[in-house]
Amino acid sequence: MTTADPRLQDVALPPADVVERLGGALADLGMQVQPARVFAALLATEDGRLTSAQLADVLDISPAAISGAVRHLAQVRMIRRERTRGSRRDVYVVQDDAWHDVLVQKDTLYRPLVAALAAAHDRVGPHTRAGERMQLSVEFLEFVQREMGAMAVRWEEYKPDRAAGAVRRG
């Protein structure tokens, strides 16, 4: 006997214009179009949870496009996949604090790029303009890594004030 997940029944799908505007903004920043739209749909859904079929309804795209988009988003840890108990249906979930989780992945985001830049710096030579640009890039990304840790701590300190209504937007 399969048990349907009550959180997925009668889900109010997000407004298409909200999804398209947010997805478009993310795509304009360089995110792939379909992952941007899927991420936007999940962000704009009340509980941040949708199945592939629900995503297809919202976005009017094929199951293959959804599969590729959610695979990409899961790889970069912007969403996670859950399996509904007693079912073969996957549910895609975005965390309430998704941006925090993505941006503080210092090792995943920065380490490979810093290593590649350092190797390129050594290869082109430290006393060339290219080498100087590479070194400056390495130093900047190392600086960002250090600051990201401190910023994550400040964010955790900020959230209780936000929850208490002590912080105003804008």
Q: Strand ranges (DSSP E) for the chain?
A: 49-51, 80-83, 90-93
Structure tokens at 118: 């350092």
Q: Which CA distances in Å does 1 have to 4, 9, 85, 86, 87?
A: 10, 17, 11, 7, 9
What does the pLDDT read at residue 101?
79
Q: Supply the pTM of this predicted model.
A: 0.78
Cβ 78 vs Cβ 39: under 8 Å: yes
> Could you tell me which residues are beta bridge partners of residue 93?
49, 80
Domain boundaries, the chain: 12-95, 104-163
Distance CA 153, CA 73 (A): 25
CATH ID of 12-95, from 1.10.10.10, 3.40.50.300, 1.10.10.1100, 1.25.40.10: 1.10.10.10
Q: Could you read off the pLDDT tens digit of each residue along the chain, which spans 170 residues?
A: 333 444 445 678 899 999 999 999 999 999 999 999 999 999 999 999 999 999 999 999 999 999 999 999 998 889 999 987 778 889 999 988 888 878 777 667 788 899 999 999 999 999 999 999 999 999 999 998 888 888 888 988 998 888 887 766 66
